[in-house]
Every structure is written in structure tokens, then in C-alpha cells.
Amino acid sequence: MDEVVSGYGASEVLHGISLTVNEGETVCLLGSNAAGKSTTLRTILGMVPTRKGSVKLRGERIDGLATPDIVAKGITMVPENRRLFAKMTVRENLEIGAQLRDDRPAIASDIESVFSMFPRLKERVTQKAGTLSGGEQQMLAIGRALMAKPSVLLMDEPSMGLAPILVEQVFETIDEISKQGITILVVEQNANVALGIADRGYVIQTGRIVMKDSAKALLANPELSRAYLGELEG
């Protein structure tokens, strides 16, 4: 992602953001409210148009493509607030995740592997998604995204609205997914937990990248908390 400018309507939200995620890496994008974290993810997926700059996947430009085409190239998102299809069952949600795939037996076996990752979901397979607890919903949202067999997984605030113990579980899961070789870009406010599993991190503030470093260095950097308070000059 290079010098990307994007925004909604007349307002520009990202003022030239450059970030790189290497294959197999887990990178986290930190920042306070309204810093442009979600917009960054939405821009990558083509839900918000790229106005300047370019978004590339393995050297190939993907900005300007329609969202479904980008998804077909192997990028999937776990959206903010889960955004499950609340009135569809757990199984249907997972099946929707595999919408672009054709191989039925493989889909069926992937559903099973999601269940083995989240046994709780298997118990609730015919229940509608809206009736699940917050933690179960997050599991389902992750499972739904995995059903697309993505090579890159974008996660928007996976810790939002979850109890601390569940947050820990979710990030353990993210770590596991990363070990399967999936590249992950996770957007978080909860810096400590996110950096705990990430290889590298970026800090974004009012649409600009203000810091970037390895996860360990960022954790040790006292400026990190100041960036959150908005005192750092971009």
C-alpha cells in the first residue's frame, strides 16, 4: 500500500498512507478513534475508493477493483462489530463465507475444521447468529472469513466489546491462524494485546502513519502512549 489517499464523499480521511505487510507476517495497525484505521482496511478491500496512490497485492494493483473481485484475489475481512448475518444460522454464515468457492467437499471439510477450532460453534450450528454471545459471534466472524480460504486476513478491532479473558482467547486464535501461514493485518486500539502477537506495528493518527517499528520496539517505546493521546506531531 503506497501513498494512499482516500475518503468518503468530500472528506478525505487518509492523507497518504504507506504500509507494507510481508507474506506470512502479522502486522497491527494501532491508533485512537477516528484515526483512519477502519478506513485503511475498507480502502484495501475497495469499499472506499482509492483517490491517489496504489494498493498492490503481490505486486499487482488491486485498487479500483470491485470488492467481490478483491475478495476473489484472497483478501478477506473480519469486520468491525462482527457484522454477522444475524438472522441466518451459524452454518449459513459459514457457507456464505465460502460464496466464491466451488468445491463442495472442500467446503464441507473446511466447515469441520472451523468447528474443530471453535467447538462452541458446532454446538450452535442451527442457531441463528444473532442469538450467540459476543465471544461466539467473534468466533463465527473469524470462521466466516476463514471459509473464503484467504491468503490475507484483515481484522477490524477484534477485541471490541469483549471481556478481557475473551480478548486474550481471540488473539490466541489469531496467532494460531497466523501459524497456518495466513498473512494478517489487524487493526486495534488495544495496543498491548495486539503487539503481543504481531511481528510489526504501525501507528496511525488523523490519516497519517506516525510511527512504524517492530512489535517489540513499539511495546518498549514510551512515545506510543503519547501518540494515543494525540500529542505527537505527524
- When asked if residue 35 is in the footprint of another protein (CB under 8 A), the reply is no
Question: Are 158 and 138 a contacting pair, CB within 8 Å?
Answer: yes
- From residue 114 to residue 153, the character string flagging contacts with another protein as x (rule: CB under 8 A) and all else as - is --------xxxxxxx-xx-x----------x---x-----
Q: Which of 30, 57, 71, 209 binds another protein (CB under 8 A)?
A: 71
How many helical (H) and strand (E) elements, i.e. helices and strands, does the chain have?
Answer: 10, 11
**Of 136, 23, 5, 137, whose CA–CA distance to 75 is shortest?**
23
- When asked if residue 168 is in the footprint of another protein (CB under 8 A), the reply is no
- From residue 47 to residue 66, the character string flagging contacts with another protein as x (rule: CB under 8 A) and all else as - is x------------------x
- From residue 195 to residue 224, the character string flagging contacts with another protein as x (rule: CB under 8 A) and all else as - is ------------------------------
For 50, 78, 115, 221, the CA distances from 83, given in Å and listed in that order, are 23, 8, 20, 34
C-beta closer to another protein: residue 29 or 224: 29
Return the beta strands (E) in the chain as ranges. 2-8, 11-17, 26-30, 50-54, 56-57, 60-61, 75-78, 152-156, 183-188, 200-205, 208-214
CB of 101 to another protein, least distance (A): 9
Maximal C-alpha separation, the chain:
54
| The C-alpha cell that represents 26 in the structure block | 502479522
Q: Which of 19, 53, 89, 221 binds another protein (CB under 8 A)?
A: 89
Whole-angstrom distance between the N-terminal and C-terminal Cα of the chain? 19
Q: Which of 6, 50, 76, 159 binds another protein (CB under 8 A)?
A: 76
C-beta closer to another protein: residue 68 or 164: 68
Residue 83 DSSP one-character state: -
- When asked if residue 109 is in the footprint of another protein (CB under 8 A), the reply is no
What is the binding site for another protein (CB under 8 A)?
Answer: 45, 47, 66-68, 71-72, 76-77, 79, 83, 85-89, 92, 95-97, 99-100, 122-128, 130-131, 133, 144, 148
